Amino acid sequence: MQTPVQSTDRTEAVADKQPHFAIKINRSLLAPWFILIAILPAALSYLRMMTCFQTQIKRGCDMILTTDRLILRPWEDTDAELLYEYAKDERIGPVAGWPVHTSVKNSLEIIRTVLSAPGTFAVCLKEDGKAIGSIGLMVGEQSNIGLPDTEAEIGYWIGVPFWGQGLIPEGVAEVIRYAFEDLHLENLWCGYFEGNDKSRRVQEKCGFTYQYTNTDAEWVKMMDRRTEHISKLTREDWSRRVKTIRDMD
Ligand SMILES: CC(C)(COP(=O)(O)OP(=O)(O)OC[C@H]1O[C@@H](n2cnc3c(N)ncnc32)[C@H](O)[C@@H]1OP(=O)(O)O)[C@@H](O)C(=O)NCCC(=O)NCCS
Decide: 189 in ligand 1 pocket, CB within 6 A: no
Tens of pLDDT, residue by residue over 178-237, are 999 999 999 999 999 999 999 999 999 999 999 999 999 999 999 999 999 999 999 999
Beta strand 187-193 with 224-234: parallel, antiparallel or unpaired? antiparallel
Tens of pLDDT, residue by residue over 39-98, are 787 777 666 555 545 555 554 557 999 999 999 999 999 999 999 999 999 999 999 999
**Alpha-carbon distance 161 to 170, whole Å?**
17
Decide: 148 in ligand 1 pocket, CB within 6 A: no
Atom 13, ligand 1: residue with shortest CA distance: 164
The strands making up 65-66's β-sheet, listed across from edge to edge, are 65-66, 70-73, 120-125, 131-139, 151-158, 187-193, 224-234, 209-219
3-state secondary structure 61-105: HHCCEECCCEEEECCCHHHHHHHHHHHCCCCCHHHHCCCCCCCHH
Atom 20, ligand 1: residue with shortest CA distance: 164
Amino acid at 136: G
Distance 59 CA to ligand 1 centre (A): 30
Distance 163 CA to ligand 1 centre (A): 6
> Cβ(64)–Cβ(72) under 8 Å?
yes
3-state secondary structure of 177: helix
The model carries a pTM of 0.81
Distance 198 CA to ligand 1 centre (A): 4
Question: Length of the chain, please?
Answer: 249
